[in-house]
Amino acid sequence: DDPEAGKKVFAKCAACHAVGEGAKNRVGPHLNDAIGRTGGAIEDYKYSKAMMEAGAGGLVWDEDNLKAYLANPRGLVKGTKMAFAGLKSEDDLSNVIAYLETFSEKQASAATPPETVTEPEAEAAEDVAEVTPSAAPQDASASVETPAGTEPGAGKHFKLGRAATPEEVAAWDIDVRPDGLGLPEGRGTVTHGMEIYDENCASCHGDFGEAVGRWPVLAGGQGTLQAERPEKTIGSYWPYLSTVYDYVRRAMPFGNARSLSDDDVYALTAYLLYLNDVVTDEEFELSKENFTEIQLPNEPNFIDDDRQEEPFYAEKKEPCMENCRPGKAEISMHAAILDVTPEDAGEDDQPAGGGID
Amino acid sequence: AGDPLITEIQDWNRYLGEGVDARPYGSPSQFEAHVVRKNVPWLTSDAVSSVNFTPLHELDGIVTPSGLCFERHHGGIAEIDPAQHRLMINGMVEKPLVFTMADLKRFPRENKLYFLECAANSGMEWRGAQLNGCQYTHGMIHCVMYTGVPLRTILEEAGVKPEGKWLLAEGADASAMTRSIPLEKAMEDCMVAFGMNGEALRPEQGYPIRLVVPGWEGNMWVKWLRRLEIGDEPWHQREETSKYTDLLPNGKARRFTYVMDVKSVITNPSPQAPITHGKGPLVISGLAWSGNGRINRVDVTTDGGRNWHTARIDGPALPKALHRFYYEFDWDGSELFLQSRAIDEDGFVQPTKDELRSVRGSNSIYHNNGIQTWYVNKDGGIENVEIS
């Protein structure tokens, strides 16, 4: 049992579970002192009904039952809300449990394993929509909630549908990922891409990707992301080239989707790189082989969602109710001044800014 | 003497009306013809890739009538015969499968009421008060009762392999809309829905099936759903990179901003629904919602946030669904600055627009859940304003 190796295995768990000093409940409960803990025991975590019942029935986590649970969560606790398929490798199981033991005061040996895990009634075990009526409408009786045991079909198989054939999967599965997964065989040059672009794309996107009307701008805009009017193009904003290939292939030309060949899409993608100065050679040829060598300049500037750390969310302060601000409210901006509300607006009215996409 | 509507016999009181089969699938009264979705033509380049808005100021309760649910299409409304529709599951599954609509209707199903809000709802307000009416400022939201199959049931039928961590959902329309969804969410509470408000989905809402992703941004609720792929990484599709990412003042952009934050708006009175009855009893009504779950409380102010009063939530308080609130008081005919502020069950408080801008600037487009202000003048006319 190797806790260090287990730490790596735990990366699969870390999307939902925290462990270590100050660990809090996330999608799943925190795992400090997980070994020796009774099932469903953390008070401020909303467990499935099945897990609560398993705990009430005597489930105390030890190395053996945790191993069985992590190998097949719904096999041990039918109706658990842990949506994890299970660890298949015996080594991974032992190692991740060894890792968790380093955060548990009670070692596996100290816990008293129950003889059997109570298998709750199938119907009751189904994961009840974790209801805690903490909301307080003044007429509480109006709060209609799903009755107990109503998640249909959990953990069952119905033998519905039929096998998809390889040809069917190939026909629809055309998505492409940044690592190149899904790229078809093929190639195309900047020069060829320009011909296809002029014929199929320029009427909306402009001769050089500058766009006609409010159709999307495809090129330029580098250095504008902090400006008052950022111009978000493939070159200035998009993080991955794979998105260009994927989107053009699935949805362009607008109104005639899927009409371009895979080679045509390579050529168009090459031309869009050229319009955005990512490549400068008109003879450049983009292909499945060299595709993932191309990086778009703005890729490093994407970050994950951290809204909950913004001060007005992080503090969760009880808001002020009386005398919250001095003086009378003063209007600082009227909608009427730049009124572009459709009922009143003429054909030529333009927005002050913003938009839906 | 008296009201002729009472003292004289009216046509509808004398002559017969239409019989039972005159309106086999009924429509609203002819006197409600103004209650319609509306678009803002300058927002987009073409109506087939555009949006229109729910007339929130004409509605009450928490359920949106199917025909008034806002529309957002990226390639127009796909018209699909359900007999010709297929749903495929492929990728990291034990067995790739194809389902017909008849197959899908043999799985156990569930009924859930959820709001669906576009991530760009109120997006035009980042730079300041711009549109006069909650239909335009907040109308990219609706709330209906969905009938369908838990997504988890369908995925388990194909058997998700342990390395599967992400789901790609794809539509059958001309934009072949795609979004990557974390598998935890897919297994938690997503649905493949074929019904809304007791009837089949409307064509513009994805008939015959759409994905339901409770509490998360509307773009992920893929309509005309035809394919579910399991993978070990997100795909970084167009609608999760170049769109639906939130640009911050330092040039960085947030991605995977899924949850729709705690939010509320006063729907009546509002710019399209001014006060016409003069002084006296006034009902202030509005909607509150949160992608985190239920709404715990809504406060209303009539003086622009100097003093707040806790409003009354009426009707069901369901997680990730609209909540209806009311605040009744005697209007003395003086100017009002109306605002509402919602607090959700996780303790998150709806921020002001200035608080949002202090962190996010004004280029984000998406996820504007700031407190909305309506200015009421002495005649009862109402305008969208920002105040200090």
| CATH number of the domain where residue A118 is located | 1.10.760.10
Residues A295 and A183 in one domain: yes
Selected residue with higher pLDDT from A38 and B332? B332
Segments of A272-315 assigned E as strands: 285-287, 302-304
Average pLDDT, chain B: 97
Residues A221 and A117 in one domain: no
> Number of helices (H) and strands (E), helices first, in chain A?
12, 5
From A258, A274, A301, the end of a domain falls on: A301
Residues B74, A304: C-beta atoms closer than 8 Å: no
Residues A14 and A80 in one domain: yes
Of the residues B131, B181, B296, the best mutation for testing chain A's interface (the one with the most A CB atoms within 10 Å of its CB) is: B131
Residues B315, A336: C-beta atoms closer than 8 Å: no
CA distance A351 to chain B (A): 7
- Residue B271 near residue B338 (C-beta atoms within 8 A): no
DSSP code at position A347: T
- Give the nearest chain B residue to A216 (CA atoms): B45
- Give residue-wise pLDDT tens across range A310-349: 999 998 889 999 999 999 999 998 886 555 666 544 444 4
Residues A21 and A114 in one domain: yes
Residues B97, A16: C-beta atoms closer than 8 Å: no
Question: Is residue A324 in some structural domain?
Answer: no
Confidence of residue A122 (pLDDT cuts 50, 70, 90): very low
- Give the nearest chain B residue to A136 (CA atoms): B296
Backbone angles phi, psi at A274, to 5 degrees: -65, -45
- Give residue-wise pLDDT tens across range B244-260: 999 999 999 999 999 99
Q: For chain B, state the CA radius of gyration.
A: 23
ipTM over 0.90: yes
Nearest residue to B64 via CA among B324, B367, B276, B335: B324
- Residue B231 near residue B249 (C-beta atoms within 8 A): no
- Residue B192 near residue B143 (C-beta atoms within 8 A): no
CB within 8 Å of A121: residues ≥ 6 apart: none
Contacts of A329 in chain B (CB under 8 A): 303-306, 337, 387-388
Backbone angles phi, psi at B253, to 5 degrees: -135, 135
Q: Which of A88, A313, A335 is closest, CB to CB, to B130?
A: A335
Residues A263 and A189 in one domain: yes
- Enclosing domain of residue A175: 169-301
Number of domains in chain A: 2
From A250, A279, A301, the end of a domain falls on: A301
Question: Is residue A326 in some structural domain?
Answer: no
pLDDT of A140 > 60? The answer is no
Confidence of residue A79 (pLDDT cuts 50, 70, 90): confident
Q: Which of A226, A322, A335 is closest, CB to CB, to B250?
A: A226
Confidence of residue A194 (pLDDT cuts 50, 70, 90): very high
Mind listing the domains of chain B with CATH numbers? 82-254 (3.90.420.10), 263-385 (2.60.40.650)
- Residue B258 near residue B239 (C-beta atoms within 8 A): no
Q: What is the mean pLDDT of residues B25-53?
A: 90
Nearest residue to B183 via CA among A113, A27, A295: A27
Residues A108 and A219 in one domain: no
Residues A89 and A192 in one domain: no
Tell me the percentage of chain A whose pLDDT exceeds 70. Answer: 80
Question: Is residue A156 in some structural domain?
Answer: no
Question: Is residue A247 in some structural domain?
Answer: yes
- How far is Cα B102 from Cα B84, in angstroms, rounded to an integer? 11
Contacts of B316 in chain A (CB under 8 A): 137, 142-144
Residues A181 and A264 in one domain: yes
Tokens of B316: 């069901």
Residues B253, A88: C-beta atoms closer than 8 Å: no
Question: Is residue A328 in some structural domain?
Answer: no
Lowest mean pLDDT among A16-20, A200-204, B163-167: A16-20
Q: Which of A15, A163, A333 is closest, CB to CB, to B386?
A: A333
Question: Is residue A295 in some structural domain?
Answer: yes
pLDDT of B228 > 80? The answer is yes
Question: Is residue A290 in some structural domain?
Answer: yes
